[in-house]
Structure 1
Amino acid sequence: MDTQHDIALTHALAEIPGPLPVSGVIHVAIPHTSRFTVVGNHLAQHADLSLTAIGIGVYIQSLPAGSQVGIKALAARFPEGERTIASALRELETHAYLHRSRERLANGRMVTRTVFCNQPGALLRGAAVVPVTVAVAPVPVVTPAVPAPVVPAPLPAPEPTPVPEEAHPPVRVPSRIGPKPPRRPLPQPRELTPELHLSASALLADLRRHAPELVLSEDDVEELAPGAAAWLERGAHPDAIRHALTTELPQPPKYPAKIVRHRLTVLLPPPLPGAQELTPIHRTPVTPFQTCEGCDRAFRSPAPGHCRDCRAQYWEAA
């Protein structure tokens, strides 16, 4: 079988026009007639995506609508572990290829809605969305290999002519599919001393004794230690930090490290006030009102007596 394949490949290479490159890949491009998916080079050659993320993105794009693409479903299909697959899905979310949201159905059940966009850049520019019907064709019967003529790869299709709105109204995709805003940075202490770093790391590693769901890896503890150190530097007691990080956890917590990072960031207490801020404000004493012993009028004086007019009359009489 291998020999037959090698012979067919040799004939195919001989049909390629022009000199072959001396190094690098040589493409034998045979047009697909069934069971194929069009993938943009912006995904296949993405400079910031890992190879795992690109592969999972291509796989999801090739599936029919309604297919299960959760972490456990992908881990059951591929040899990569759940942690690697979860990291790849987060990469696709960061670059707007993938969007996941929790929604409540009419019967009250919560489900995860997954949306995959094959061209995030075009979506942000307001391009119309064309519904795609995904059909799986039957596997063709294998026949003896016959060298097929090699044709050059097809040129990119020209931009489609805009269709009047009355004839084909575009399908609007919710704006929430756009890229997420950057998350708030993890708090940092003013000075991360070795003693402070050790105390923060020990506090984070000890969380699983108080909440078995919060099992952090060594890398997670090393990454989150500055955030816990910022709490300790601001005078927060370790018991108070544990209570803030372990109380009312979602069940089940899918990403313990993300939960701890979020709470360290949004629940950070303010610095303790200094002695100057706690000094009470001294107010000027107010002179009380007195009732005049001569005319019963009210006047301000530190002691009872007569008002100004009555005192003047007494002075004139004297």
Structure 2
Amino acid sequence: MRIHLSARKRAFTVLGNEVLRDRRLSFTARGILAFLLSLPDGAREDVRTLADKNPGLGRRGVAKAVEELIELGYYVRRTVRDEETGQVQTETYVFDTPQPAGAPFPVPAGTGEAEAGKAGAFPKGNKNPEEEPPTPAPAGRAGEEASMVDDTGRAAALLARLGTAEPKLTLGTAEALALAPLAAPWLERGLSELEIRNLLTAGLPPTVHSPRALLADRLIRKLPAPRTRRDAAAPAAPLAECGECRDPLPRGQQSSICAACAGVAALSGPAAVGGMGHVTDHVAALRAVLRGRRVLPTAHA
């Protein structure tokens, strides 16, 4: 099975693998728990509203799954009495880690007057619960922070994909996000994903007990030095051409006519001894060399 995780910068929920893999819970209970933890703080859900959103499960199935969550401490109900009105109401708490019996409850964030609402409703002010408000366009310091967040998201996605190439380095979403700040400098230094993957997966031990610890060490220890920008070499100037035959002239020659056209070609060795026939052949060979068509012969038969 190949797992593919998309890099998310907004509208996501972070859950530990121990929650989603708690075998004491049925898959139905795990799914309901994940759904409840994805809701904004203050949302109101109960067995009836959950059953209405999952017709195939029914209230009995939802109630059974919620009882599993209550038994293990993921879902806690508390009955309180309003001191002013004397009314009794039930408060519900959902946790991503099991709570022992009798554990103290979190202190409410504010002391303002509670707002009444229907079960299944989202907190006031969120007109469209399916979509979060768009992030404003970054400017100045905010733009730099947004760029850092973007690099961190790309780094987390890259680390999450490592397990596809090397199963020994498979990471969970929370682990990839935790290591993302260490991987972001690799992207900032211009390394491609293939280069990073090769550096991180090269020379792995036969058994990797903690992919997160191993990658944290390698991301720090193997971070390449910043790449220096090399200016492109200036192209070589084209060879000047003979004003008569248009053949290329040797570099550094001051005259605008080649030696053959000027009739002053100086030859030495076998070509000078062999007469005019050899002189003509040698001149033709020189032209071919300058044109890049053939290799100058070293001797004549």
Alignment TM-score > 0.5, same fold? no
- TM-score per shorter chain, which class? 0.3 to 0.5
The alignment's TM-score, normalised by the length of structure 2, stands at: 0.36
The alignment's TM-score, normalised by the length of structure 1, stands at: 0.34
